[in-house]
Amino acid sequence: MKFSKDFIFGAASASYQIEGAIKEDGKSLSIWDTYCMREGTIKKGHNGDIACDHYHRYKEDVQLMKQIDLQAYRFSTSWPRILPNGTGAINEKGLDFYDRLVDELLTNDIEPFLTLFHWDLPLCLYEKGGWKNPDSADWFAEYASVVGTKLGDRVKNWMTFNEMAMFVRLGYLEAVHAPGEKNSTFECLRMIKNLLLAHGKGTSDLRSVLQKDAKIGFAHCGAINFPEDDSPANVAAARKSMFDVPNACGYHPVFSNTLYLDPIFLGKYDPQTLDYFGDDLPKINDEEMKIISQPIDFLGLNYYSGFMIKADEQGNPIEAESKEDEGYTNFDWPVRPKGLYWGSKFLYERYKSPILVTENGMSSADWVALDGKVHDHERIDFLRRYLEEFSKAGQDGVPLMGYMQWSIMDNFEWSEGFGQRFGLIHIDYKTQKRTLKDSALWYKEIIKSKDE
Ligand code: IFM
């Protein structure tokens, strides 16, 4: 696999999944804190109260990143740690944690990549209607500006939201993530408009406090489809299905790629979206669309698995069945590296934005062996396959910014609790002992080989 000299290799995490310290130093509660307190929401009653205790162990964690020779670390800031009331008074102690983390990373030559929202909405804002409240865009912009003002002198790469489509789907449609609601399509579409405006207003307020060379992106996760083979008909069908509403893979229409990415990158809803949702779709006027679609610097792609598509006799996309036995991760997600090649290509063709893989990885049933090591050979094979496909996209002309493996360490996997291990670093949750997995050492070699 080949990557350009300026391609950046990193690993990612999110505040609620690793930090713990949920009530410390002035932090207020998030919707995830209280969702976990509700009986039956999380497997085995797990929660993020302590998680990986990263809030206290961040220095040790940065040293482990250094041992892997990571070039970048993608993390998210916790909104209720920084603004306990959601807006207004800043909790300096909370903000100071990220200030110290950023300094620690830079001292160790690791580039910080900061995501502003990875799902831990302040509970107090949720109680005011959360993302359903049209004021939420201004709340988010204020938060973005507070974080940007403090860290913008050192953090050069920013993401507004992580997986907007996913948290709408899981948290507000299917009720399997916080806050656990089942809304109608009509209600979701209104919330999505507020979210898009939050992305837009957040981007402009952030831009105004950042340095000129800072980059801002949007980390997206949606249906990624790839063709059964390279025949023009199947490629055309897969391309079409990625941007169809509804999509051939059967996801709910509020999970459509175009609902989020077209307004952000193209400044409009596509005709199919307008047609499909009809009067349910809230109007976005020109001024609002301008805010939503102001230029950003990259498209973050979170990719784990996708759908294989072929053309039916009329050329329409339908799901194809795999001809071979596929591997499955511990989550039971099929191992489908080709989506990283085709997904990057299709997204670049339509949105013309450089691609940063903001998440990619697998969960496996890792444990510390008798020799004290973690032999996660499946993860090595998985990462190699996916990286090879991503590299191919680069060779075919897609501008690639970098790759953030998910995740730097095992962590709290939302409603699955600690049962799914995605990390390059194994966490013993009883002792908080960290162990570099074999995949971490393999990744170190891959990072090294880029410059050879
Ligand atoms: O752990 C999550 C992450 O928070 C968002 N993207 C998918 C990961 C694995 O499920």
Which atom of ligand 1 lies closest to the CA of 411?
A: 1
Per DSSP, the three-state class of 299 is: strand
Angstrom distance (rounded) from CA 311 to CA 180: 37
For range 256-277, the mean pLDDT: 97
Angstrom distance (rounded) from CA 294 to CA 291: 6
Q: In this predicted structure, what is the pLDDT of residue 338?
A: 98
pLDDT over 90 at 203, yes or no: yes
Task: Give 273's contacts (C-beta < 8 A, 6+ positions apart).
Answer: 245, 256, 258, 259, 262, 281
Ligand 1 center to residue 132 CA distance, Å? 23
Per DSSP, the three-state class of 80 is: helix
Query: What digits encode the pLDDT tens for the residues 35-49?
Result: 999 999 999 999 999
Angstrom distance (rounded) from CA 392 to CA 342: 10
Q: In this predicted structure, what is the pLDDT of residue 248?
A: 82
Which residues are near ligand 1 (CB < 6 Å)? Answer: 14, 17, 163, 302, 359, 406, 413
Give the C-alpha distances (Å, rounded to integers) separating 236 from 126, 200, 241, 393.
42, 32, 9, 17
pLDDT over 90 at 317, yes or no: yes
Which atom of ligand 1 lies closest to the CA of 302?
A: 6
Q: In this predicted structure, what is the pLDDT of residue 325?
A: 85
Dihedral angle over CA of 21, 141, 174, 279, nearest 10: 170
Q: Is 166 left (phi over 0), alpha (psi -120 to 50) or beta?
A: alpha
pLDDT over 80 at 429, yes or no: yes
List, by residue number, the catalytic residues. 163, 359
Which residue do the tokens 């992106």 mark?
217
Query: What digits encode the pLDDT tens for the residues 234-258?
Result: 999 999 999 999 988 889 999 999 9
- 438: its two tokens: 């074999």
> Considering the chain, what percentage of its residues have pLDDT values greater than 90?
97
107 burial type by CB count under 10 A (0-12 exposed, 13-18 middle, 19+ buried): exposed
Q: Which residues of 156-169 are buried (b: 16+ CB within 10 A; e: fewer)?
A: ebbbbbbbbbbbbb
280 pLDDT band, cuts 50/70/90, is very high
Please compute, for residue 10, the number of CA atoms within 13 A of its CA located in the half-sphere on the CB side: 26
Which atom of ligand 1 lies closest to the CA of 407?
A: 1
Ligand 1 pocket: which of 364, 413, 420 to mutate (most atoms within 8 A of CB): 413
For range 212-230, the mean pLDDT: 98
Ligand 1 center to residue 239 CA distance, Å? 25
Query: What digits encode the pLDDT tens for the residues 153-179?
Result: 999 999 999 999 999 999 999 999 999
Ligand 1 center to residue 340 CA distance, Å? 16
452 pLDDT band, cuts 50/70/90, is confident
- 449: its two tokens: 């080989």
Q: In this predicted structure, what is the pLDDT of residue 291?
A: 98
Q: In this predicted structure, what is the pLDDT of residue 324?
A: 82
Q: Which residues of 74-106 are buried (b: 16+ CB within 10 A; e: fewer)?
A: bbbbbbbbbbbebbeebbeebbebbeebbebbe
Helix 377-395 with 338-351: angle, nearest 10 deg: 30
Q: In this predicted structure, what is the pLDDT of residue 213?
A: 97
Give the DSSP H/E element, type plus range, for residue 260: helix 257-261
278 pLDDT band, cuts 50/70/90, is very high
Ligand 1 pocket: which of 119, 164, 302 to mutate (most atoms within 8 A of CB): 302
Ligand 1 center to residue 271 CA distance, Å? 31
Helices (H) and strands (E) in the chain, counts: 16, 13
190 pLDDT band, cuts 50/70/90, is very high
93 pLDDT band, cuts 50/70/90, is very high
pLDDT, greater one: 142 or 246: 142
80 pLDDT band, cuts 50/70/90, is very high
Nearest CA to 400 among 12, 8, 69? 8
Q: In this predicted structure, what is the pLDDT of residue 350?
A: 98
Nearest CA to 75 among 139, 125, 121, 10? 10
Which atom of ligand 1 lies closest to the CA of 414?
A: 1
Give the DSSP H/E element, type plus range, for residue 402: strand 400-406
For range 3-7, the mean pLDDT: 95
450 pLDDT band, cuts 50/70/90, is confident
Q: In this predicted structure, what is the pLDDT of residue 174?
A: 98
Residue nearest ligand 1's atom 1 by CA: 413
Angstrom distance (rounded) from CA 178 to CA 173: 11
Angstrom distance (rounded) from CA 434 to CA 370: 15
Angstrom distance (rounded) from CA 175 to CA 187: 14
Ligand 1 pocket: which of 166, 301, 414, 427 to mutate (most atoms within 8 A of CB): 414
Q: What are phi and psi of 435, to 5 degrees?
A: -135, 125
71 pLDDT band, cuts 50/70/90, is very high
For range 403-432, the mean pLDDT: 98
Domains and CATH numbers, the chain: 8-449 (3.20.20.80)
State the chain's mean pLDDT as an integer. 97
Nearest CA to 168 among 139, 196, 143, 146? 196
> Considering the chain, what percentage of its residues have pLDDT values greater than 70?
100
For range 319-336, the mean pLDDT: 93
Q: In this predicted structure, what is the pLDDT of residue 222?
A: 96
Q: Model pTM?
A: 0.98
Query: What digits encode the pLDDT tens for the residues 359-387?
Result: 999 999 999 999 999 999 999 999 999 99
Ligand 1 center to residue 413 CA distance, Å? 7
